[in-house]
Amino acid sequence: MRPGSFLLSLLLSILCGSVQSFAYVMPVFASDSVQLTKAADLTEAIQFQSQAQALERRLEGLSTRPKIGLALGGGGARGAAHVGVLKVLEREGIKFDCVVGTSIGSVVGGFYCLGVKPEEMEEPVVSARVMRQFMTVPIAFQVMALPFFYISRFFGVKSYDGLYGGKAFKEHLMAGMSTRDVEIEELKIPFAAVTFNLLDGETYLIKKGHLARAMTASCAVPVLRKPIPIDDYLMSDGGLVCNLPVKQCREMGADIVIAVNIDEPFEKQDAEKFRPFGSVGRRAIAWKLASIDKPQGMMADILIHPDTSGISLISTKRADARRALLAGEKAAEEALPAIRALLKKVGGNTD
């Protein structure tokens, strides 16, 4: 059985129980910057579009240049596509006034706001090093070791649910920073990471505090990664409910939003595609992501959607990472005429 298929069966096991493992427990860290948000639904998106048919009308009354925001969606290993998009936008001199990221989008977005060039991000993502740090041990081995982790519970050691603790991933993120204690408030561009609070079922933006921990919380995929305690919250992957944070970018003050959706295009499939084990589960996840992405994408002024078809969310293959990177570059190149026209109209952010 392939690790990806096994993970899908684990996700489905949430319905009847949970999987526990003993690993590093992320300490609670103080933050006064957790802001409640809501993902847009279709009704809200349609209403927004009806009010925004004329861009000039939406920007009436602005005394300064419109603020341009960048929304980077979640998508695991497909995150290399974000780097490809940023390479093209950076080459064109397109600048952003704020960035909001979900899951892997928070990682790429956080480093971008820190001042890391897309070319510097290319090698870590194309080599699949980021995903290997995300899952330090192959899933199959981690699952086989679960009986040994259960022993620790007899001695009173109880960690949160999840196969991986997150320490290695956080350390890997911090290793790429100029200082290990980067605060979000210190970033060159205003930034927020989208997270989901398991305790109250609400979505939150992390806008201040320790950058690497905010990224780690936004990437805490249920079952795969342990949730991250922040104050009175228990944060998990924001992609559960808000995978493409366009509305959240507007809440950060953006008048114009360019969004990057790296999920697989949801297209009609032949019935034979659903005979292999795990195929139905993968299709269900793809449908869910497409459903929550749609209204958010409708609120973007420019939506860039690289073709990531066939790239698993948890792939550690270099070929997949390279393909995602090139897909990002291609999609951004195709979107350039519309982006140039938009920025010319609103007088915004190019060198």
Task: Give the 3-state secondary structure of residue 198.
Answer: coil
Look up tokens 């201040």; give the residue. Answer: 208
Q: How far apart are CA 183 and CA 180, in angstroms?
A: 9
What is the chain's Cα-based Rg?
20
Task: Please list, in sequence order, all residues whose beta carbon lies within 8 angstroms of the beta carbon of residue 249, skipping any fewer than 6 positions away.
Answer: 69, 70, 71, 98, 99, 100, 257, 259
Question: Which of the residues 103, 106, 312, 315 is marked catalytic?
Answer: 103
Q: Work out the angle between the directed axes of helices 318-346 and 118-126 (0-180°, nearest 10).
A: 150
Task: Give the 3-state secondary structure of residue 212.
Answer: helix
| Annotation says 103 is catalytic | yes
Q: How far apart are CA 61 and CA 56, in angstroms?
A: 10
Tokens standing for 271? 């019935």
Question: Which of the residues 31, 33, 236, 237 is marked catalytic?
Answer: 237
Handedness of CA 339, 342, 345, 350 (dihedral sign): negative
Kindly list the catalytic residues: 103, 237
